[in-house]
Structure 1
């Protein structure tokens, strides 16, 4: 992980902490509205690789400190030739290769440009009431190449996606929620707390089942319906044959909480 520190706090530009089975990632460049840099992208990449490799970790929460989620790439660094991306996971250390385990975006304030694309790369989204989302790249002679151009039309009606992409104008939580982009809207300052509550609901479930459910839901977007049941067997058969599947049935019969082993 990068050891780059921020002048605002003297702490790492990405603060990573574990909370039981939950991994919390906090972008920590509040003076720059948490604009993404290569150092932060590499740190996010490292943290998400740790998430997938560590059997004790089940869910990640990604947020920004200081009342802003992420204002996109650091344009000054971009003008100097820096690319805020990693070789494998792409922009922000996530958009091209999100982890297999769930990631929850906890959004306060602005999620602009690449920041919104990071949100779209996450699986679930909790937002403070004043959060704003937008893809303003066309206003700057750029375009949303961090996944916004194809992830957004898959999440909202095409006409709405094109409105956001072609005007570059942002939307607030009320409209984002009405469009189905958000899982929960909470009072400002409570997005992380709400994300933890959501993460704990996931953590209580069997890890193999959670991972396979996410994998099928994402991979099946372009599966022909006539092939879907056959294709899902590669994901579902190992789950149904797992020790956890047997434990789930025993726990139900014995009226006790299951003890998951992840195998």
Structure 2
């Protein structure tokens, strides 16, 4: 296992960013097609490092995905072939520190873009992370907040915050310890060591690992399978699974979940068995 970091710390400086990207270049590309929202972190010249402007733009995107009934699935990725995202723009952070900004800690409340994806705990629509290249720091935390991770075999994951005097405050410290065995998670958290895509799949963090040329087709396959499923069932399952993780089993059975209440009384709950009986594909309406 290597412990090297990519040839940038996630911050190239505002002067370079503006000259390469242009003042009007969006930090996030957002498209919707056939019930799928495609969200692309759009700073490839700095390995999609996340600055405050990007967080502002992402807030509007996640809000739209949550409210648009025509969106059933979201796919999150990074522009270019080098990185999903290397996390926080550290040059910007260093400047904010010099200007006396409050220190960072867990969560993003009262910061631009709140609630960020890592804290949108009630977002019931599934989000798939398409990872190609580096997913470091906040980039890895974004991926951990997604419901599925599909990665190219050249992808690398790490939470290097301990090496920088920081903490993985966007959920990395919490989610990694929930998604891996505790000592395995602590090993990566306390050292900042890298995690290859293959190893991440072995540990259950990643759903599929494929060559870069096959990445889009693999993601599309997962998206298509989700769209074949009843959207309210997908949301009810996601909500009930995530909310019940720390519950005793008896309590989980007794809990009333918001999206399960909607699914249970929906037209789609009638359509599924009817379509099966009539030997035809179901026509989901998400109502």
TM-score normalised to structure 2 length: 0.84
Aligned partners of 2:251, 2:216: CA distance in 1, in Å? Answer: 39
CA distance in 1, matches of 2:72, 2:48: 25
Partner of 1:97: 120
Let me know the Cα RMSD of the aligned residues: 2.2
Q: Which residue does 1:80 correspond to in 2?
A: 95
Number of residue-to-residue matches in the alignment: 259
C-alpha distance in 1, partners of 2:231/2:41? 27
Runs of 5+ in structure 1 lacking a partner? none
Q: C-alpha separation between the residues in 2 aligned to 1:80 and 1:138?
A: 20
Tell me whether 1:50 sits opposite 2:64 in the alignment.
yes
Q: Deviations over 1:153-200 (max 9, x none)?
A: 110100110000001111101110100001110102443432222112
Instruction: Tell me, in whole angstroms, the C-alpha distance in 2 between the residues paired with 1:45 and 1:193.
Output: 28
**Shift of residue 233, structure 1, vs aligned partner:** 5.7
Q: Does the 8 A contact of 1:125 with 1:182 survive in 2?
A: yes
Q: Which of residues 137, 145, 158 in structure 1 aligns to 2:182?
A: 158
- The aligned counterpart of 2:13 is none
The 8 Å contact of residues 48 and 79 in structure 2, kept in 1 or not, is answered as yes
Q: Which moved more, 1:238-247 or 1:123-132?
A: 238-247
Question: C-alpha distance in 1, partners of 2:174/2:221?
Answer: 30
- Structure 2 matches for 1:101-120, cutoff 5 A? 101-120=125-144
Matched, 1:228 2:252: yes
Asked whether the 8 Å contact 1:6–1:28 carries over to 2, the reply is no
Contact 1:51 1:57 in 2 (8 A): yes
CA distance in 1, matches of 2:259, 2:115: 28
Indicate which of 183, 198, 210 corresponds to 1:186. Answer: 210
For the pair 1:246 / 2:270, whether they are aligned, the reply is yes
Q: Which moved more, 1:240-249 or 1:127-136?
A: 240-249
| CA pair 72-106 structure 1, distance change in 2 beyond 3 A | same
Instruction: Structure 2: give runs of 5+ residues left out of the alignment.
Output: 1-16
- Secondary structure of 2:84's counterpart equals coil
Q: In the superposition, relative to structure 1, how do residues 36 and 198 fare at CA in structure 2: closer, same or farther (>3 Å)? A: same
CA 104–97 in structure 1, closer or farther in 2 if over 3 Å, else same: same
Partner of residue 32, structure 1: 46
- 2:37–2:75 CA contact under 8 A, matched in 1: yes
Deviation at 1:232, TM superposition (A): 4.5
In the alignment, what sits opposite 2:74? 60
Shift of residue 74, structure 1, vs aligned partner: 0.2
Match of 1:215 in 2: 239
Residue 21 of structure 1 is matched in structure 2 by 35
Equivalent of residue 222 in structure 2, options 180, 190, 198: 198
Task: Please give the alpha-carbon distance, in whole angstroms, between the structure 2 residues aligned to 1:58 and 1:178.
Answer: 29
Cα 1:233–1:53, aligned 2, differ >3 Å: closer, same or farther? closer
